[in-house]
C-alpha cells in the first residue's frame, strides 16, 4: 500500500511508488519503441585489471553484433540446444556468448549462483553447450585421472585401453567404437549431464593434451578461442571440423589480423617456417576506446584502427593462429635470460595436485620462485589412499610424504614439457 511506503526527506527530491502504480502509469503513457543504432553504446565492460587499474571498454551495439555474426559462420548452434550460464556476466566472454546464443535461439539456464552446486545444476539441466576456462578444465582433467587411479588396477587398465583406442580412431579421422562409451565414458559424461556436444575454452591457453582428453572422454567438439574485451570477445576460433589442437583457430570473419615485428624479443613476420610477431586486429569488432581514458586508448589503438593486443602469435598452415608469448609479460633473470612466466604456469597447471600456480623472478636472482596452491580434494583423496593421518589441511601440506608426492608430480610434468621442447 502507498501509505506503507518509506518516506524520504523532501530535500532528496526522490519519490517512492509501488511497482503496481509504476505499471499502471506506464500503460497509460505508451512510448514508441526506439531501437538502438549500430553506433550507440551498448555497454562499458571493464577489464580484469591484471596489468593495472581496470579500464572501461566502450562497446557499441555494432561491435557486439559484428562479433556474433562472425562467430555464427564458424559455429552452428540450434534452438534445440541448451546452455548453462555460470561464468561471470561482468566478463566479455560470457556476455559475448549470450548474444551469439540469442541469435541462434538457444535456451539458456542459469546456475544457482553457488559454485559448490554447479555439478548438481549440470546434472539437472543437462546442457548441450558448455563454455569454461582452462582452470576448470584442468580440475576436471585432474579429477578424472585421480578417480581412475584410485579405482584399482583393473579399471585403470580398462580406462587406458578405451582412451588409447578412441584417441587413435579420432586421430585417424574414424568413428570410435561405441563399445568404449558404454563401458567407460558414459559414466564420465554423466558428470556434466550426459548431453554436452560442444565445449568452448577461452580466457587463457588450454593445454593441447587436456583439449584432446576432453574430446575423448566426453565425445563432443572442443574448440579453443582467443579474444579480449577490446575485441568484443572473439578474435579467432577453431573450426568445428578441425581435429588439430595446440592453436586458437582462424580469424573471426568480422576482423583482420596481422603480425607486427617485435625485434627486442626476436620475433619477426619474416621468421621461417612460421611468421611471428605481435597480434594486431582491425575491424567492426574493435572497441571505441577506454572510457574517459584517451592516454591508454592511444597506447593500444593506432591511427589506422589496429588494436595492438600485446600477445605474440605465429601463423600455422591453414591460416591457424597460435599464441606463443606475451609482449609485456616477461622478465629478465640475473644471467640475462628472458622468462615468460605464463608458459611455465600453464605447464604446471597440468599437475593433478595443483589448482593454481604463480611464477616470479627478477633481474637480481638467477632462479625462479613458484607459489603453488594445492587442490584440496585431490590431495585429501591421495592421502586417504596412502593411509596418511592428519588433523587439518595445514598439517597435510607439511607432511613430508605429501610434499614429496606433489614435488614428484611437478618434476614429472616439467621433464615431459622439457622433452617436448627438445623434440
Number of domain units in the chain: 2
In three-state secondary structure terms, 354 is strand
Euclidean distance between CA atoms 77 and 80, whole angstroms: 8
pTM flag (> 0.75) = no
Taking residues 343-349, report their average pLDDT: 83
- DSSP E strands: which ranges in 65-117? 82-85, 107-110
Number of Cβ within a 10 Å radius of residue 24 = 12
Is 25 inside any structural domain?
no
Range with lowest mean pLDDT among 145-154, 347-356, 360-369: 360-369
Report yes or no on 30 lying in a domain: no
| Cα distance between residue 36 and residue 297, in whole Å | 25
Position 404 pLDDT exceeds 70:
yes
**Euclidean distance between CA atoms 30 and 26, whole angstroms:** 6
Residues 310 and 387 in one domain: no
Domain end among 292, 326, 360? 326
Residue 291 has which C-alpha cell?
572510457
Q: Find the CATH number of the domain harbouring 79.
A: 3.40.50.12780
Whether pLDDT at 349 is above 70: yes
Let me know if residue 28 belongs to a domain: no
What is the rounded CA–CA span in Å between residue 284 and residue 61? 10
Say what the pLDDT of residue 423 is.
43
**Using N-to-C axis directions, what is the helix angle for 376-386 and 400-422, rounded to 10°?**
120
Work out whether strand 369-374 and strand 354-360 pair parallel, antiparallel, or are unpaired. antiparallel
Question: Backbone phi, then psi, for 223, in 5-degree steps?
Answer: -115, 135
Q: Residue 72 in contact with residue 252, Cβ under 8 Å?
A: no
The answer to whether 111 and 121 have CB atoms below 8 angstroms apart is: yes
CATH number at residue 381: 3.30.300
Residue that is written with C-alpha cell 629478465 in the block: 332
Domain span holding position 226: 41-326
Residue 18's pLDDT band (boundaries 50, 70, 90)?
confident
Say what angle helices 208-218 and 134-149 make with each other, to 10 degrees: 60
Give the span between the Cα atoms of 193 and 120, in whole angstroms: 9
pLDDT above 90 covers a percentage of the chain that reads 47
Judge whether residue 339 has pLDDT over 80: no
Say if residue 149 is in the same domain as residue 285: yes
In this structure, the answer to whether residues 265 and 366 fall within a common structural domain is no
Q: Is residue 13 part of a domain?
A: no
Asked if residue 227 and residue 141 are part of one domain, the reply reads yes
Q: Among 288, 307, 326, which residue terminates a domain? A: 326
Given a cut of 50, whether residue 357 has pLDDT beyond it is yes
Residues 200 and 220 placed together within one structural domain of the fold: yes
CB atoms under 10 Å from CB of 189, counted, come to: 17
Over residues 212-236, mean pLDDT: 92
222 and 96, same domain (yes or no): yes
Is 262 in the same domain as 309?
yes
Do 145 and 272 share a domain, yes or no?
yes
Residue 136, pLDDT above cutoff 60:
yes
Q: Tell me what pLDDT residue 422 has.
A: 44
Report the DSSP beta bridge partners of residue 108. 83
* Same-domain status, 252 and 338: no
Number of Cβ within a 10 Å radius of residue 422? 6
Cβ atoms of 283 and 255 within 8 Å: the answer is yes
Task: Say which residue, 330 or 168, is predicted with more confidence.
Answer: 168
Q: Are the CB atoms for 96 and 67 separated by under 8 Å?
A: yes
Mean pLDDT computed over 91-103 = 94
Per-residue HEC secondary structure of 228-247 comes to: EHHHCEEEEECCCCCCCCCC
Based on the fold, state whether residues 256 and 381 are members of the same structural domain. Answer: no
Longest dimension (CA), the chain: 79
Residue 92 gets which letter from DSSP? H
Q: How many Å separate Cα 387 from the centre of its chain?
A: 36
Percent of the chain with pLDDT over 70: 94
Are residues 409 and 379 part of one domain?
Answer: yes
In this structure, the answer to whether residues 315 and 340 fall within a common structural domain is: no
Bridge partners of 320? 316
Q: What is the average pLDDT across 95-102?
A: 94
Domain boundary among 326, 341, 360: 326
What is the sign of the dihedral through the CA atoms of 141, 343, 321 and 272? negative
pLDDT, position 3: 58
Amino acid at each position: 500500500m502507498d501509505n506503507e511506503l518509506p518516506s524520504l526527506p523532501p530535500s532528496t527530491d526522490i519519490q517512492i511508488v509501488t511497482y503496481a502504480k509504476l505499471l499502471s502509469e506506464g500503460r497509460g503513457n505508451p512510448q514508441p519503441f526506439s531501437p538502438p543504432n549500430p553506433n550507440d553504446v551498448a555497454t562499458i565492460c571493464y577489464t580484469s585489471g591484471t596489468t593495472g587499474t581496470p579500464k572501461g571498454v566502450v562497446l557499441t551495439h555494432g561491435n557486439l553484433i559484428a562479433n556474433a555474426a562472425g562467430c555464427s559462420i564458424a559455429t552452428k548452434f540450434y534452438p534445440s540446444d541448451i546452455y548453462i550460464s555460470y561464468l561471470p556476466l561482468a566478463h566479455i566472454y560470457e556476455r559475448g556468448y549470450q548474444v551469439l546464443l540469442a541469435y541462434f535461439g538457444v535456451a539458456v539456464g542459469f546456475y544457482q549462483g553457488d559454485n559448490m552446486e554447479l555439478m548438481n545444476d549440470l546434472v539437472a539441466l543437462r546442457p548441450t553447450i558448455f563454455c569454461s576456462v582452462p582452470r576448470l578444465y584442468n580440475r576436471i582433467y585432474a579429477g578424472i585421472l585421480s578417480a581412475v587411479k584410485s579405482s584399482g588396477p583393473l579399471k585403470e587398465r580398462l580406462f587406458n585401453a578405451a582412451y588409447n583406442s578412441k584417441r587413435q580412431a579420432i586421430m585417424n579421422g574414424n568413428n570410435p567404437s561405441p563399445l568404449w562409451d558404454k563401458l567407460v565414458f558414459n559414466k564420465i559424461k554423466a558428470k556434466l549431464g550426459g548431453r554436452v556436444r560442444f565445449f568452448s575454452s577461452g580466457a587463457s591457453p588450454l593445454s593441447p593434451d587436456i583439449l584432446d582428453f576432453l574430446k575423448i572422454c566426453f565425445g563432443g567438439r572442443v574448440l579453443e578461442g582467443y579474444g579480449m574485451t577490446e575485441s568484443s570477445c572473439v578474435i579467432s576460433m577453431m573450426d568445428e571440423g578441425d581435429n588439430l589442437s595446440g592453436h586458437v583457430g582462424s580469424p573471426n570473419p568480422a576482423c583482420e589480423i596481422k603480425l607486427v615485428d617485435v625485434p627486442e624479443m626476436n620475433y619477426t613476420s619474416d621468421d621461417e617456417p612460421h611468421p611471428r610477431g605481435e597480434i594486431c586486429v582491425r575491424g567492426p569488432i574493435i572497441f571505441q576506446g577506454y572510457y574517459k581514458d584517451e592516454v591508454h586508448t592511444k597506447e593500444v589503438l593506432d591511427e589506422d584502427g589496429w588494436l595492438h593486443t600485446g600477445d605474440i602469435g605465429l601463423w600455422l598452415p591453414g591460416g591457424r593462429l597460435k599464441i606463443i608469448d606475451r609482449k609485456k609479460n616477461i622478465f629478465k633473470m640475473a644471467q640475462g635470460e628472458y622468462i615468460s612466466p605464463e608458459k611455465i604456469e600453464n605447464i604446471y597447471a597440468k599437475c593433478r595436485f595443483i589448482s593454481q600456480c604463480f611464477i616470479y623472478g627478477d633481474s637480481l636472482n638467477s632462479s625462479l620462485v613458484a607459489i603453488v596452491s594445492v587442490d584440496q580434494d585431490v590431495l585429501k583423496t591421495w592421502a586417504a589412499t596412502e593411509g596418511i593421518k592428519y588433523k587439518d589441511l595445514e598439517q597435510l601440506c607439511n607432511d613430508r610424504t605429501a610434499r614429496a608426492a606433489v614435488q614428484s608430480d611437478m618434476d614429472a610434468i616439467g621433464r615431459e614439457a622439457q622433452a617436448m621442447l627438445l623434440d
